[in-house]
Amino acid sequence: MKYLAVSLTLCLVGVMQAQPRRNYWQQSADYTIHVDFDHNTHRYSGVQSIAYTNNSPDTLHKVFFHLQYNAFQPGSNMDERSRDISDPDRRVGNRIAGLSDSEIGFMEVVEFKHDNDVADIEHLGTILNVQLSKPIPPNGKAQFDMSFRAQSPKQIRRSGRNNIEGIHYSMAQWYPKLANYDRYGWNTTPYVGREFYGIWGNFDVHISIDRKYTLAGTGVLQNADDIGHGYSATKRKRGRGKQTWHFRAERVHDFMWAADPEYIHTTHQVPNGPLLRFFYREKDNEHTDNWEAMPEYMQRFFELADSLVGPYPYSEFSFIQGGDGGMEYPMATLMLGRGKLKGMVGLAVHEAMHNWFYGMIATNETRYPWIDEGFTTFVENLIMQALFPDDDTRGLPHYSNYLTYLQQWNAGATESLTTPADHYITNRGYGVASYSQGCMYLVNLQHIMGEDVFWKGFRNFFNRWKFHHPHPEDFIRELEKVSGLQLQWFNDLWIGTTQAIDIGIDTVYEDEGFTHIVLRRYQELPFPATVVLISEGSAPEIHHVPLDLMYGRKLERGKQHPFWKWAARTYTLKIDRPIADIDAVYLDPFFETSDVNRSNNRWTKDNE
């Protein structure tokens, strides 16, 4: 508890010192939620109060809420979308269409008051539209009080009851969640099973449920001594009847909980880090060993993530068996618990890493799913390589994401990163774009800038924008500031188009004692080149060809050459050595770019 108070104070000081930028604002919402849960009917009723601050320069006449459980009903957008898309998620498929009334999810706001006045509400699927009787002025505050009732659906995707491994309740997206209003307006995306975007605030959550259940989730339990269940030494009281769990989470933008009567609950304190909690029901079977091995791996994960990106700010983190794969939530993850050890560690690393990219860097995922997924994947790859150094990844941490991107490119199916998350033509297109194109975005930038400067900018971005809602331009500005390079061109092309990188070696010849290496741009995306010369008996020689659009050069070991004009298809690199001295010429030999054709990246004397 003391640790939490100290760390939050430090965070607040940190944020105040690193104001993102002038004229930046973001909304604020503090939740108090009380729910009474009936595990016989899987229904619950609740009252929720939100203290809302409109920090925008605009007067708000309405507000919107997400009611995501309404997606799990036949005929919902999520159902229609899943039955229409050519490659449906097998977890969803046509399962929503077949749900009975007792199996669907629903969420209904019964009454809504704004500063004690009843407001007009309209339910539109997964969105609640609230017409306020009086506007909220710029910098004005509002109090929303609502009562609601809901039914936890038979688990289809992420949230719901009785998951595939028998966990009773995975309670994500379980309360009316205020939509975010940012500099581009309201985010009112209907839920089709994909993205989230929430408002920073404090959550005070009270859940009354049969005492047989052990609960896990976001936040810190406030009444551990009353509860027991592994949160304190208090023995579990036998018999029926409910007990009320009181959680509090500070500076988060969502709240998830899970409940199961058979959870094993273990803890592990990371030195100078969070208290880790593990909740699983794998008793005396092959999966128990994996869960018991997790604390050691996860301690190393937190140490690595802290040093690579920045410190984890909360006092606790929970790994919870539940959900339908792996999914990130503030201070916790829901994950399936019966995989192989490396798969489980990878899943846990990915989802926990999201507490940096989603949890703290809280971008609008419905518009930029490639930021939270791509940035998470990029760091996850590095951490997994550190955790499993003997694996055959050929020393190339991002290789599998490169291959996935390449495969999609070769199939002619690459979709632009400007596509809204819910509107990719295929689920695969969404996945490739978010995880692999997003990861390659950073890989390519690292190559343009040089590794040291890139990481300085990456950390600057994290520190400046944590606990805020940045947009893609905010990231590239941080990289520009730290490197002195112009980089907007790359942002516009990589995000706004599907143009690809393919720089190759056209010809190599000698003229007047100089070796001439003619580089050619075979695809549309202009890109700088790094050329490596190999000669027997001497160290590899590195030559940098910067692109004119950069208006600068990366600071890395090697010889610098004049700029390559972006519109010119070819560039002749002049080397002050006879061709007889050179055994081989390589472009990007360590797979540090997303070059889509590597067959033209090599010239050797023998195969001249």
Give whichever of 408 and 434 is closer to Zn ion, judged by the CB atom: 434
Interface mask toward Zn ion for 534-553; x: CB under 5 A: --------------------
Residues 156, 167: Cα–Cα separation, whole Å: 13
**Phi then psi dihedrals of residue 481, to 5 deg:** -65, -40
Shortest reach from residue 290's CB to Zn ion, in Å: 20
Residues 303, 301: Cα–Cα separation, whole Å: 5
Shortest reach from residue 196's CB to Zn ion, in Å: 11
Question: Please, which of residues 367-406 interact with Zn ion by CB under 5 A?
Answer: 373
Comparing CA positions, the residue from 51, 459, 466, 460 lying closest to residue 252 is 466
State the DSSP H helix or E strand holding residue 29, giving kind and residue range, or none if neither.
strand 28-38
Comparing CA positions, the residue from 585, 583, 588 lying closest to residue 603 is 585
Question: Please, which of residues 403-462 interact with Zn ion by CB under 5 A?
Answer: none
Give whichever of 325 and 589 is closer to Zn ion, judged by the CB atom: 325
Residues 23, 180: Cα–Cα separation, whole Å: 18
Which of the stretches 366-374, 465-473, 522-530, 564-572 binds Zn ion when contact is defined by CB under 5 A?
A: 366-374
Say if strands 541-545 and 602-604 run parallel, antiparallel, or are unpaired: unpaired
Give whichever of 282 and 373 is closer to Zn ion, judged by the CB atom: 373
Give whichever of 337 and 346 is closer to Zn ion, judged by the CB atom: 346
Give whichever of 103 and 380 is closer to Zn ion, judged by the CB atom: 380
Shortest reach from residue 330's CB to Zn ion, in Å: 14
Shortest reach from residue 439's CB to Zn ion, in Å: 11
Beta-bridge mates of residue 120: 131
C-beta separation of 151 from 121 below 8 A: no
**Phi then psi dihedrals of residue 292, to 5 deg:** -75, -20
Which of the stretches 224-232, 304-312, 365-373, 501-509 binds Zn ion when contact is defined by CB under 5 A?
A: 365-373
Query: Cβ contacts of residue 175 below 8 Å, gap of 6+?
Result: 31, 33, 35, 46, 48, 148, 150, 255
Q: How many residues form the binding site for Zn ion (CB under 5 A)?
A: 1
Shortest reach from residue 349's CB to Zn ion, in Å: 11
Interface mask toward Zn ion for 320-359; x: CB under 5 A: ----------------------------------------
C-beta separation of 542 from 558 below 8 A: yes
Give whichever of 351 and 415 is closer to Zn ion, judged by the CB atom: 351
Residue 80, number of CB atoms within 10 A of its CB: 14
Give whichever of 365 and 595 is closer to Zn ion, judged by the CB atom: 365
Shortest reach from residue 348's CB to Zn ion, in Å: 12
Shortest reach from residue 354's CB to Zn ion, in Å: 6
Return the SS3 of 279. strand
The residue number with the shortest CB distance to Zn ion is 373
Give whichever of 200 and 356 is closer to Zn ion, judged by the CB atom: 356
Instruction: List contacts with Zn ion (CB under 5 A).
Output: 373
